[in-house]
C-alpha cells in the first residue's frame, strides 16, 4: 500500500478581529522551545502570516487523519501563546498588508517578482504519494492531469480577497497562477523528458531553483513521491483526508494503467487550464469540466465520475466506504467556499466568518 503525507498551510489571525497576523517567527520559536530542540512539524512560508506543517508518511487514512488533527491542534496551541489563532483558509477574507519573511530566498523572490510576491498570501494543501521510481512517477503525472481540476473543485476554500467577494470559489488558484511555473503541464512521456524540462525552466533564470517548479503535480525533489499541489487548504480536516484518499487512489489507478500499457489522455494544456478555471470559479456550486469529455457537466456527475474512475483502487486500499461517505457529506454541506459565504450571511461580517473558521479548523474528522 502506498504511503501518503500531507502538507497544509494555515493562516495566522487575530483571535478577536480575524485580521491576519505576521507572527510565524514567534510561533516557530515557541514550537522549537516546547520541543526542546527536537524536530517538529512546522515551518515558515513566504509570508509571515502563514504557518505550514507536514505529516509523516502514513499508509492508513485513520493514521493520517489523527496526525492532521494533532498538527492542527498543536499549531493552535503554539499560535495562542504568540497571541494569534490559526485558520484553515486559503486566502484571507479580511484585507492584509504584505509581510514577507526575512530570508535570502524570499528576498530574491520579492526582488524578481515584485507585486506577485507581495500579494502571494495563499494557503494550499499538498499531498505526497509514494512511487517506486521516477519513471512510474512521471507515468502517473501524465495520467492524472485531467482529474486535478476536480480536486480543486472539491477543496475550494477561498471566496474572499482583500475584504471583498471575489466571485470565485477558489480565488487562491487564480492568485497562485500568477507564478510563471504553475498550473497544468504537457505530457512528459518519460522521466528523462521531465527532468530535462525542469532543468530547462531553471536555466532560463526566471526561476531561482527547482523548488520553484510549481506544477499542479510534480515529482518531489526531496522524497520518492509524486506531489499533487492543486488543492486549496481545506476548512474541515475531513475534506483534507478525503482529498488525500482520492489522490492516492488516482496514483494507484494511473500506475496500473501505465503497467497495462494504456496511454494517457492527450488533452492539451489549454483545455486543462480551462477546466482548472471552471473549478476555481464555481467549486461544486455549478458545472465542472468532465475529465473524459472535456465538456461541462454538473459537478455532482463529475465527482461521481472521479469516484468511479478510482473505485477499484479505493476498494483495494480499504478506503471505499469512507470515501463515499465523505463525498456525500461534502456534497451535502458544500465546500469551504460555500460554507464561508453562508457564514457571512449569518454573521454579517468577515471577522465573524474568520472567527467561526478558527473553530472549525480544529474540529475532529467526521
What is the structure's pLDDT at 39?
A: 76
Q: Which residues contact 187 (CB under 8 A, 6 or more apart)?
A: 142, 145, 264, 266
pLDDT tens digits, one per residue of 34-46: 887 677 899 999 9
What is the structure's pLDDT at 366?
A: 78
pLDDT tens digits, one per residue of 233-290: 999 999 999 999 999 999 999 999 999 999 999 999 999 999 999 999 999 999 999 9
What is the structure's pLDDT at 365?
A: 87
Nine-digit cell string for 302: 463529475
Query: CA 77: distance to chain centroid?
Result: 23
Query: CA 7: distance to chain centroid?
Result: 8
Largest CA distance in the chain: 57
Q: Is the dihedral of CA 220, 223, 227, 232 positive or negative?
A: negative
Query: Could you identify the residue written with the cell 501518503?
Result: 4
What is the structure's pLDDT at 38?
A: 72
Low-confidence ranges of the chain (pLDDT < 50): none
* Count of Cβ atoms closer than 10 Å to residue 14 Cβ: 18
Contacts made by residues 257-264, CB under 8 angstroms, sequence distance 24+: 257/143, 258/136, 258/139, 258/140, 258/143, 264/139, 264/142, 264/143, 264/145, 264/187
Nine-digit cell string for 194: 521531465
What is the structure's pLDDT at 149?
A: 98
Pick the CATH number of 4-361 from 3.30.590.20, 1.10.10.10, 2.70.98.30, 3.40.462.40: 3.30.590.20
What is the structure's pLDDT at 37?
A: 67
What is the pTM assigned to this prediction? Answer: 0.97
Amino acid at each position: 500500500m502506498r504511503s501518503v503525507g500531507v502538507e497544509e498551510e494555515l493562516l495566522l489571525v487575530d483571535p478577536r478581529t480575524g485580521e491576519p497576523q505576521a507572527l510565524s517567527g514567534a510561533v516557530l520559536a515557541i514550537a522549537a522551545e516546547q520541543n526542546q530542540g527536537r524536530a517538529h512539524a512546522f515551518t515558515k512560508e513566504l509570508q509571515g502570516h502563514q504557518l505550514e506543517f507536514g505529516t509523516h508518511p502514513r499508509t492508513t487514512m485513520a493514521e493520517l487523519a489523527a496526525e492532521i488533527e494533532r498538527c492542527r491542534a498543536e499549531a493552535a496551541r503554539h499560535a495562542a501563546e504568540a497571541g494569534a489563532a490559526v485558520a484553515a483558509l486559503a486566502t484571507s477574507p479580511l484585507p492584509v498588508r504584505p509581510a514577507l519573511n526575512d530570508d535570502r530566498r524570499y528576498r530574491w523572490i520579492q526582488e524578481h517578482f515584485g507585486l506577485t510576491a507581495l500579494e502571494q498570501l495563499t494557503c494550499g494543501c499538498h499531498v505526497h504519494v509514494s512511487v517506486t521510481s521516477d519513471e512510474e512517477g512521471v507515468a502517473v503525472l501524465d495520467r492524472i492531469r485531467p482529474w486535478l481540476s476536480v480536486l480543486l473543485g472539491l477543496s475550494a476554500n477561498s471566496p474572499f480577497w482583500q475584504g471583498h467577494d471575489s466571485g470565485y470559489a477558489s480565488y487562491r488558484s487564480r492568485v497562485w497562477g500568477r507564478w510563471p511555473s504553475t498550473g497544468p503541464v504537457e505530457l512528459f512521456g518519460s522521466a528523462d523528458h521531465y527532468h530535462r524540462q525542469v532543468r530547462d525552466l531553471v536555466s532560463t533564470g526566471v526561476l531561482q531553483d527547482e523548488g520553484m517548479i510549481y506544477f499542479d503535480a510534480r515529482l518531489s525533489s526531496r522524497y520518492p513521491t509524486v506531489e499533487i499541489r492543486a488543492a486549496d487548504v481545506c476548512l474541515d480536516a475531513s475534506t483534507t483526508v478525503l482529498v488525500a484518499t482520492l489522490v492516492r487512489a488516482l496514483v494507484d489507478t494511473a500506475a496500473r494503467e501505465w503497467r497495462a500499457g494504456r496511454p494517457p489522455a492527450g488533452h492539451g494544456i489549454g483545455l486543462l487550464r480551462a477546466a482548472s478555471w471552471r473549478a476555481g470559479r464555481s467549486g461544486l456550486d455549478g458545472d465542472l469540466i468532465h475529465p473524459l469529455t472535456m465538456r461541462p457537466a454538473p459537478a455532482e456527475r463529475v465527482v461521481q465520475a472521479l469516484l468511479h474512475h478510482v473505485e477499484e483502487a479505493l476498494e483495494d486500499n480499504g478506503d471505499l466506504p469512507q470515501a463515499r461517505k465523505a463525498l456525500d457529506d461534502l456534497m451535502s454541506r458544500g465546500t469551504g467556499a460555500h460554507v464561508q459565504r453562508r457564514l457571512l450571511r449569518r454573521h454579517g461580517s468577515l471577522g465573524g466568518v474568520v472567527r467561526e473558521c478558527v473553530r472549525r479548523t480544529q474540529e475532529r474528522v467526521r
